[in-house]
Structure 1
């Protein structure tokens, strides 16, 4: 049986759009995993480490039969295959893939926390997620209210509109 999972994707190095497309293509080829829908692309300012280019961000709804840790491992393989290097925290990257929500699961392990611990305060995550998220409540809070309360809400600009189902 497969679970519904929401992931965030971001890129600010090289051809950002192609990096996200390549990541989605590779995720769709992971055994037991399929892409259900993809958000529009949004351009955003960097957070944390500011001496870097703007990001393109997106979100996807996927289904997978993999456990959360197995899925994390496969997503990290996709990141490595696409040239992701982890040398500066919140630094530039060809691709960043985060598991945001995994069904109704809640877990807090050193390598993975679900729901994603900082998504509720990051419009660059919530705005794309809203495109593909069916429920519209995160931890009992309306996604629109969460977006309105984010400090970075005005920094999220539509880059390419094409939500796919």
Structure 2
């Protein structure tokens, strides 16, 4: 479990939360490889990761179930530099962008980056769909239960509004 989010953790590090998802090419291994890559991220410190969760696909239902997790890192990278690093990890693990909400080897999304609020053609922070996605909120609450979003909303209140939709803990990583 990590402390509440702060835009400036210490020494110019920013606390960021990253969603991890996979449903192709051995999703458990894909998620674990991504976690290992996050542990060695440049100008960053790996803080925590949730359990692995199994969830139904959000988009087309004729695809395998997903394995999801949320990781916490403190980083000196800007949000765009972090996005570039995450996309590099995705590409290294065989990510191909074909279909919106389609099956994928790996999806790494920046959920929160300090108190940053931004919307550019490449990146929206906080992540635009995080408030209603059980496969994001429940793993996030596991590692940051007291989290308050930049808009002032409390994570525990979002959970009260978000059904689990058959989301289950697949594997505890501790």
TM-score relative to the length of structure 2: 0.88
Q: Offset of 1:131 from its aligned partner? A: 1.3
1:1-165 superposed matches below 5 A:
1-133=12-144, 135-138=146-149, 139-151=151-163, 153-162=164-173, 164=174
Q: Offset of 1:97 from its aligned partner? A: 0.2
Q: Offset of 1:15 from its aligned partner? A: 1.3
Q: Look up the SS of the partner of 2:136 in the other structure.
A: helix
Structure 1 segments (4+ residues) deviating >2 Å: 134-142
Preserved contact between residue 24 and residue 35 of structure 1 (Cα < 8 Å): no
Preserved contact between residue 8 and residue 59 of structure 1 (Cα < 8 Å): yes
Name structure 2 gaps, 5 residues minimum: 1-11
Aligned residues: 162
> What is the alpha-carbon distance in structure 2 between the residues aligned to residue 147 and residue 134 of structure 1?
10
Q: Offset of 1:63 from its aligned partner? A: 1.0
> What is the alpha-carbon distance in structure 2 between the residues aligned to residue 84 and residue 145 of structure 1?
34
Preserved contact between residue 49 and residue 89 of structure 1 (Cα < 8 Å): no
* Pairwise CA RMSD: 1.4
> What is the alpha-carbon distance in structure 1 between the residues aligned to residue 156 and residue 42 of structure 2?
34
